[in-house]
């Protein structure tokens, strides 16, 4: 196990590459999801306001 | 004859494409997770140790797919931009816009992982090699495209201006691709050849291709997700979006 993480002496380089790639490819969908929720909430709020004004 | 043809213009309407984008997104997410899981397993446990670069070469399994995707996404964006200019379809422009941040991310990852590969193998984090420099220009093209878009308030004008930037920038892609042949520089040549035997172990090659397909599916999934938000924002005064919003979003 320790040998696996050691990567034959290339641990910093291998994990530095895979780590940052994983970080970005996990962060991007999460950021997108929270942004989608934000936009949907804002649109719903605007729709509610509009209804209140017209009633 | 005509009845057998799909009416593609139907799908160029944001309202029609919005629910379809969700379906494509879900399917691509499942494919991406499965392929990347298999690809990672193969990258670490199936592919053999390189005789020259030891375990350090395993960076190839993220570096090459990320680099390919950064170039491929740019070409796809330019294709959408061209379609958008020809047919004046705003959904095509939104497609290009939805891909840009993902393309920029892959260009950055290509440089980052390349740097982490260059340090142990060449002894330097960065060199002004032809391929590295042209890939850096690709990253700047992505950033320039996004900056130009956000600098123009009217979305239709932003569409046209940024489409032209995309089309002009396409010239950089073959430069990146052929840089290792045109200039005799530090970056190693391609190990995958279309017309002759690849200079690579089969399991390495398969792992790399699976990772590439996984990154491909990932790109489609995030682009579809971003596209849906873009459509909602841009079409917010359209009736179907207002109805969707009044139903609770």
pLDDT score at B195: 58
Q: Is residue B3 part of a domain?
A: no
What is the domain extent for residue B162? 23-235
* Phi, psi (deg, nearest 5) at residue B237: -90, 0
Tokens linked to A53: 């004004």
| Cα-based distances in Å from B168 to B39, B77, B149, B225 | 35, 12, 15, 27
pLDDT score at B53: 85
pLDDT score at A53: 86
Q: Cβ separation of A44 and B242 shorter than 8 Å?
A: no
Per-residue pLDDT reduced to its tens digit, B139-169: 999 999 999 999 999 999 999 999 999 999 9
Q: Cβ separation of A21 and B54 shorter than 8 Å?
A: no
CATH of the domain at B85: 1.20.120
Give the residue-averaged pLDDT of B4-17: 77
- Find the helix or strand (DSSP H, E) in which B124 lies: none
pLDDT score at B3: 54
Q: Is residue B243 part of a domain?
A: no
Per-residue pLDDT reduced to its tens digit, B163-190: 999 999 999 999 998 888 888 777 877 7
* Complex ipTM: 0.91
Say if B221 is an interface residue toward chain A (CB within 8 Å): yes
Give the residue-averaged pLDDT of B2-23: 80
Q: Is residue B50 part of a domain?
A: yes
pLDDT score at B180: 84
**What is the separation, in whole angstroms, between the first and last Cα of chain B?**
41
Q: Is residue B14 part of a domain?
A: no
Question: Any bridge partners for residue B54, and if so which?
Answer: B50
Per-residue pLDDT reduced to its tens digit, A5-53: 888 889 899 999 999 999 999 999 999 999 999 999 999 998 888 888 8
pLDDT score at B197: 60
Residue of chain A whose alpha carbon sits nearest to that of B236 = A43
Chain A hits for B233, CB-CB cut-off 8 Å, are 39
Which of B45, B46, B54, B55 is the best mutation test for A, with the most CBs of A within 10 A?
Answer: B55
Q: Is residue B240 part of a domain?
A: no
Q: Is residue B110 part of a domain?
A: yes
For residues B92 and B234, give the distance between their C-alpha atoms in angstroms, rounded to a whole number: 13
Instruction: Give yes or no for a contact between B92 and B12, defined as CB atoms under 8 angstroms apart.
Output: yes
Residue B232 has pLDDT above 90, yes or no: yes
Question: Count of domains in chain B?
Answer: 1
* Phi, psi (deg, nearest 5) at residue B84: -65, -40
Q: Is residue B36 part of a domain?
A: yes
Q: Is residue B170 part of a domain?
A: yes
3-state secondary structure at position B54: strand
């Amino acid at each position: 196990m320790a040998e696996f993480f050691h990567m034959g002496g290339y641990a910093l380089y291998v994990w530095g590459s895979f780590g940052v790639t994983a970080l970005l490819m996990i962060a991007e969908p999460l950021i997108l999801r929270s942004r989608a929720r934000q936009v949907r909430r804002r649109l719903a709020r605007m729709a509610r306001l509009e209804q209140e004004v017209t009633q | 004859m005509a009845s057998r043809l799909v009416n593609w213009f139907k799908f160029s309407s944001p309202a029609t494409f919005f629910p379809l984008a969700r379906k494509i997104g879900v399917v691509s997410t499942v494919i991406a997770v499965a392929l990347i899981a298999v690809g990672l397993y193969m990258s670490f446990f199936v592919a053999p140790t390189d005789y020259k670069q030891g375990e350090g070469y395993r960076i190839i399994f993220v570096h090459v797919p990320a680099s390919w995707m950064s170039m491929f996404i740019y070409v796809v964006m330019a294709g959408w931009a061209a379609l958008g200019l020809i047919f004046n379809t705003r959904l095509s422009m939104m497609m290009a816009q939805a891909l840009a941040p993902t393309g920029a991310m892959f260009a950055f990852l290509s440089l980052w992982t390349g740097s982490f590969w260059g340090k142990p193998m060449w002894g330097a984090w960065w060199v002004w090699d032809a391929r590295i420099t042209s890939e850096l220009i690709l990253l700047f093209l992505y950033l320039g495209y996004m900056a130009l878009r956000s600098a123009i308030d009217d979305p239709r004008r932003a569409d046209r201006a940024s489409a032209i930037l995309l089309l002009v920038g396409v010239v950089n892609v073959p430069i990146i691709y052929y840089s290792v042949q045109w200039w005799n520089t530090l970056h190693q040549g391609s190990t995958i050849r279309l017309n002759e035997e690849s200079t690579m172990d089969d399991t390495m090659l398969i792992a790399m291709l699976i990772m590439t397909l996984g990154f491909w599916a990932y790109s489609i999934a995030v682009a579809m997700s971003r596209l849906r938000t873009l459509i909602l924002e841009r079409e917010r005064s359209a009736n179907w979006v207002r109805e969707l919003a009044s139903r609770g979003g």
